[in-house]
Structure 1
Amino acid sequence: MRNRRKFIGAAVAATAMLATANAQEAKHYRFAHDQQLNTGYSVAYDMFSARLKKLSKGTMIVDQYPGAQLGQEPQLLQLVKSGDIEFAIVSSANTATISPQAGVMSLHFLFRNADHVIKSLADQQVIDAIKAMIDETTQGLHVIATGSQGVRNIYSKKEIHSVGDLKGIKIRVQATATEDAIFPAYGAQTVHMPFGSVYTSLQTGVVDAAENSINVYLVNKHYEVAPVLNITEHEANNALVYVSDKLWQSLSAEQKQWVTTAAEEISAREPARAFELEKSAAAKLKSIGVKIVEDVDKKSFTTIADPYLDKLARELGPHAEKIKNLIRAIN
């Protein structure tokens, strides 16, 4: 009996020691973004963190910091570059603040429809070209995946049925050269500000309109201050997932492979999920009485925007032009 107790005691002690060793082996990493939960960004986190935990057998744990807890997107990019945050998902448009050629992803009507967005973001040639663009034009971080939050639409207090309805409108846009060229061509005045300031600016009249995906419009309650959603679908709401170079250089070859494989899950699966969120968000907005203008004359927009596709991509640089050509070639 005494020997049996000793055996059980030793087994319990060994189990405790093993649990302690495993806990010590597990490392936690931060994954930051500026959106709420139940958005494409949090979906990307869920996919990535679950797969990385499984691949690493629980030794690499990724914790989510949503809602701009660690900063707005331009700040997040700087924190990843400095190694103060390990992972972040940031719009390709805000990426243009550190790599201007990333603005190519914001070209209006570059993508034909939702399927084209999904296929393009999963295309290995497109992904490799984006990775090369970031690696060759900036330092301190690397792209590991592409993501989506659907496509962008214009919301305001007034209905927009054609490009003429934008004349003189002050609209908050992302700070890219492409936005600053195309929206004025529509007759609008562009205004830049952090995403977190959009609600108050719409409320106080600092801007008349803003633009984003349907689900982002919903979860951030922008419909409260801009109750008309105009389905312009003028731009893909692309995102890029980053790893800091500081972390990347510290990882073993095996760990790098785990991160790469987990990130591939995002590019392959998250964009389709983002468009599902868009559909459910539109249904919810209708149910609460938001006015959704679906009969927007998109041709009035594309007539102006199409000539800018080649011109702006060429002006942005060789990486931008290559990415544009690869995306346009996808059927």
Structure 2
Amino acid sequence: MFGLVLVLAASALLFAADANAQDVKHYRFAYDQPRNTGYSVAGDLFADKLKELSKGSMIIDQYPGAQLGQEPQLLQLVKAGDIDFAIISSANTATISPQAGVMSLHFLFRDEAHVIKAMADPRVFDALRTMIDETAQGLHVIGTGSQGVRHIYGKKEIHNVGDLKGMKIRVQATATEDTMFPAYGAQTVHMPFGSVYTSLQTGVVEAAENGINVYLVNKHYEVAPVLSLTEHEANNALVFISDRLWQNLSAEQKQWVMTAANEISTKESARAFELERTAAAKLKSMGVKVVDDVDKKSFTAVADPYLDKLAGELGPHALKIKDLIRSID
């Protein structure tokens, strides 16, 4: 009899363990940058908080380094419901919602503190979420992030806007970039991020632009050893959830997801700028030429008149987001 009780008790424990295992669900969170970047900071913040809130029932599996595709492909996979979550640059988001290009307006943000405050501002988040809901299908914005600000790198020092004249530079494929860099006198070239290293190496382009830590971890300094701190554009990103998953979550699970994503909106940008400073110090110690006396006024003299013009041309959502960001003290 006692043996039978033990068997029944063991069976009950196994059944409970199996039921608990079935309650745990894994979700894919993808991004195209390696670990030790702002994107992986976002992934960790989100994964840890969601696990905590769901008591371990919602587990995030991260896929960094473009394992599941580069950003334009990731967007399509999220829209199709083949990936659950992704963090995507606002510039690449413009491929499915052109008004997202407002986040790439040059010198829209005054400084580091302005970027951090804007990315955490609930009004900015609400405006971005509404923009995507009204202009794209298959996905929703749940958070905002940043990888600092963007700079120009190549083999030539950039001290003022005149140094860009005639230069072939790889830029993100947005109307904003295709307007601003020619206004500076440069020639724009589009290509996937994964092709930038080889294109710099072979001379297909003379320069590219991105955040300092992205430049470091992707080893672009090997083929473009001069980094000029132009700070021309915030390196912003949006965190997405697929509509397919969103519609299948309970009200409680949706709240967990939104709360976890808010960890990214409120904490990731500051950590990204810390990574930028650490990366700059490391690059200098490695012998990379860092030009930190760029005459930004020569750039803003060209860029400022375009702020209202480009935002207005992009559309009403873009104009509202621009005005919200500029109003933040």
TM normalised by structure 1 equals 0.97
Q: How does 1:128-207 map to 2 (within 5 A)?
A: 128-207=126-205
In structure 2, C-alpha distance between the alignment counterparts of 1:107 and 1:209, rounded to whole Å = 19
Shift of 1:16: 2.8
User: What one-letter code is carried by the residue in structure 2 that aligns with 1:79?
Assistant: L
In structure 1, C-alpha distance between the alignment counterparts of 2:39 and 2:13, rounded to whole Å = 38
1:71 aligns with 2:69: yes
Q: Mind listing any 5+ residue stretches in structure 1 that lack a counterpart? A: none
Q: Which residue in 1 is equivalent to 2:118?
A: 120
In structure 2, C-alpha distance between the alignment counterparts of 1:213 and 1:9, rounded to whole Å = 61
Shift of 1:54: 1.2
Shift of 1:9: 5.3
Q: Mind listing any 5+ residue stretches in structure 2 that lack a counterpart? A: none
Q: How does 1:234-313 map to 2 (within 5 A)?
A: 234-313=232-311
1:225 aligns with 2:223: yes
2:141 alignment partner, SS class: strand
Shift of 1:53: 1.1
In structure 1, C-alpha distance between the alignment counterparts of 2:234 and 2:6, rounded to whole Å = 61
- What is the aligned-residue RMSD (CA, Å)? 1.1
How many pairs were matched up? 329
Shift of 1:6: 6.1
Q: Which residue in 1 is equivalent to 2:43?
A: 45
Q: Which residue in 2 is equivalent to 1:215?
A: 213
1:316 aligns with 2:320: no
Q: Which residue in 2 is equivalent to 1:81?
A: 79
Q: Deviations over 1:257-287 (max 9, x none)?
A: 1111110110010000000000110111111
TM normalised by structure 2 equals 0.98
1:89 alignment partner, SS class: strand
Task: Give the one of 20, 23, 33 matched to 2:21.
Answer: 23
Q: Deviations over 1:31-85 (max 9, x none)?
A: 1110000000011000101111111111111111111111110111111101111
Shift of 1:201: 0.3
2:294 alignment partner, SS class: coil
In structure 1, C-alpha distance between the alignment counterparts of 2:15 and 2:236, rounded to whole Å = 46
Shift of 1:14: 3.2
Shift of 1:89: 0.3
Query: Sequence identity, in percent?
Result: 77
1:171 alignment partner, SS class: strand
2:49 alignment partner, SS class: helix
User: What one-letter code is carried by the residue in structure 1 that aligns with 2:159?
Assistant: H
Shift of 1:10: 4.8
